[in-house]
C-alpha cells in the first residue's frame, strides 16, 4: 500500500482506476525532467544529476535507467531509497566519442513499491574545435578551512585570435583564472587555474565554470568542477528519520559524531521540545561520540521536519542536519 500521509486512499484508488496517475506518483519524486548541456568542449566531462526524493512511506527501488542514444551513458546513485532519502539518475554526455548536436531520452523503470516509468530528456552540442584536458577539474578530498588549487588545459584550434575573456563561476567559493600558454598556427592553449577557497563549506563539489570567449558563434565553454570538501567533524546519518509514530509515542535513534582528533560536543538543539538529546557523555574529549536522540510525538498529525544544530569545540562552525518524523494514527 502506497501510504503517503493524507493521500493514502486517493493514491491507491487512482492506481486502480486511472493508470496515468499511477505513473504520476513516480514523476512527483523528480525535481527536473530535462537538461540542456548547451555547447560543450570535446572530451569535457559533462554530467547532470536528475535528483529524486522518496516522498512515500514504502521503499522505492529504481530497477533500471536506459538511454535511447549512445551519446549518453547513465548510472543510478542510491537505487533503493527509503522515506525522505534521495538518489539520482546521472546522465553522462559522451563527448569523447560523439560530436555535434545530440539528445537522448532516459527511461527510468521503478519496480517497487509499484511498477512505473519516468522519462527524462537530455541534449547538447559537442564542439570539436575546443578541448579540455583532463575532461573536468577534479579536486581530491580537501580539508575544510584549506585553500586548494587545480589546473586543466584548454585548447582551441581554428581561430588565430581566439581568446578567453573571463571565467565565471556558479559557486562563490570557487574562483579561476585563465593564463595563455601558447599561440601558433591557428592553435591556442590556456592553463585554467581553479581554486577552492578556505571558506568553502563541507560537502561535495559539483559545479560549473563558464569560459567566456571572443568567439561570437560559440561564446561560452562550460567546465565541470568536482570534488569534496571534508569537515573535521562528520555526522551520520546525514538526515535522521525518526519513523512513523502515533501521537504520544516515544522513539529513540542515535547520532554518530566523528572527528579527526578528540573534541567535545558543547550543545545540540533544534528549537523543539519534542526532541531530546542525551549529551551526558559528550563533555569528555573523544574522537567519536554516540548521541541518543529521542522524539515524543505530539497530537498534530503529519510530517514533522526540524533542523538539528550541533556545536563542538573542534574549531569550525556548527554542523546541521535535518530530522524527520511522520505522526499518524493506527490504520
Per-residue pLDDT tens over the stretch 8-47: 333 333 333 334 455 899 999 999 999 999 989 989 999 9
Mean pLDDT calculated for residue range 116-121: 96
The DSSP secondary-structure symbol of 260 reads: E
Q: Which CATH number fits domain 136-230: 2.30.110.10, 1.10.510.10, 2.60.40.10, 2.40.50.100?
A: 2.60.40.10
The span from the CA of 286 to the CA of 313, in Å, is 11
CATH of 8-127, one of 3.40.50.1820, 2.40.50.60, 3.90.550.10, 2.60.40.10: 2.60.40.10
pLDDT over 80 (residue 133) = yes
**Ordered DSSP codes for 39-78:** EEEET--EEEEEEEE--SSS-EEEEEEEESSTTEEEEEE-
Quote the CA–CA distance of 132 and 152 in Å, as a whole number.
Answer: 7
pLDDT digits (tens, 9 = 90+) for 140-181: 889 888 899 999 999 999 888 999 999 999 899 999 999 999
With 0-12 CB in 10 A as exposed, 13-18 as middle and 19+ as buried, what is 14? middle
pLDDT digits (tens, 9 = 90+) for 62-111: 999 999 999 999 999 999 998 889 999 999 999 999 999 999 999 999 99
Greater model confidence, 304 or 9:
304
pTM: 0.77
Q: What residue spans define the domains of the chain?
A: 8-127, 136-230, 233-327
CATH class of this structure's domain 233-327: mainly beta
Rg, Å, the chain Cα set: 24
What is the rounded distance in angstroms from the CA atom of residue 231 to the CA atom of residue 214?
40
**How far, in Å, CA of 237 to CA of 225, rounded?**
26
Pull the grid cell for residue 294: 529521542
In angstroms, how far is CA 243 from the centroid of its own chain? 24
Topology match between the domains 8-127 and 136-230:
yes
Amino acid at each position: 500500500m502506497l501510504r503517503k500521509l493524507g493521500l493514502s486512499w486517493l493514491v491507491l484508488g487512482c492506481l486502480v482506476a486511472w493508470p496515468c496517475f499511477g505513473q504520476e506518483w513516480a514523476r512527483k519524486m523528480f525535481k527536473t525532467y530535462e537538461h540542456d548541456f548547451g555547447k560543450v568542449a570535446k572530451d569535457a566531462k559533462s554530467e547532470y544529476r536528475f535528483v529524486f526524493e522518496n516522498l512515500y512511506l514504502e521503499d522505492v527501488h529504481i530497477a533500471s535507467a536506459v538511454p535511447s542514444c549512445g551519446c549518453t551513458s547513465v548510472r543510478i546513485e542510491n537505487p533503493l531509497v527509503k522515506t525522505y532519502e534521495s538518489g539520482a539518475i546521472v546522465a553522462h554526455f559522451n563527448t569523447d566519442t560523439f560530436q555535434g548536436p545530440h539528445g537522448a531520452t532516459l527511461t527510468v523503470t521503478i519496480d517497487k513499491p509499484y511498477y512505473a516509468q519516468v522519462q527524462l530528456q537530455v541534449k547538447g552540442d559537442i564542439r570539436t574545435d575546443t578541448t579540455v584536458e583532463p575532461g573536468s577539474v577534479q579536486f581530491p578530498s580537501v580539508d575544510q578551512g584549506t585553500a586548494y588549487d587545480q589546473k586543466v588545459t584548454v585548447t582551441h584550434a581554428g581561430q588565430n585570435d581566439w581568446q578567453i575573456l573571463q571565467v565565471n563561476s556558479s559557486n562563490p567559493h570557487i574562483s579561476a583564472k585563465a593564463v595563455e600558454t601558447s599561440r601558433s598556427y591557428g592553435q591556442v592553449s590556456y592553463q585554467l587555474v581553479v581554486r577552492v577557497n578556505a571558506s568553502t563549506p563541507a560537502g561535495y563539489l559539483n559545479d560549473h565554470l563558464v569560459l567566456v570567449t571572443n568567439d561570437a558563434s560559440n561564446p561560452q565553454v562550460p567546465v565541470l568542477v568536482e570534488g569534496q570538501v571534508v569537515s573535521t567533524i562528520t555526522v551520520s546519518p546525514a538526515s535522521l528519520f525518526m519513523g512513523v509514530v502515533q501521537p504520544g509515542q516515544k522513539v529513540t535513534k542515535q547520532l554518530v559524531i566523528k572527528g579527526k582528533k578528540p573534541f567535545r560536543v558543547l550543545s545540540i538543539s533544534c528549537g523543539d521540545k519534542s526532541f531530546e538529546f542525551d549529551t551526558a557523555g559528550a563533555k569528555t574529549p573523544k574522537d567519536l561520540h554516540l548521541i541518543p536522540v529521542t522524539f515524543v510525538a505530539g497530537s498534530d498529525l503529519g510530517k514533522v521536519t526540524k533542523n538539528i544544530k550541533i556545536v563542538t569545540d573542534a574549531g569550525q562552525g556548527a554542523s546541521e542536519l535535518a530530522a524527520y518524523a511522520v505522526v499518524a494514527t493506527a490504520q
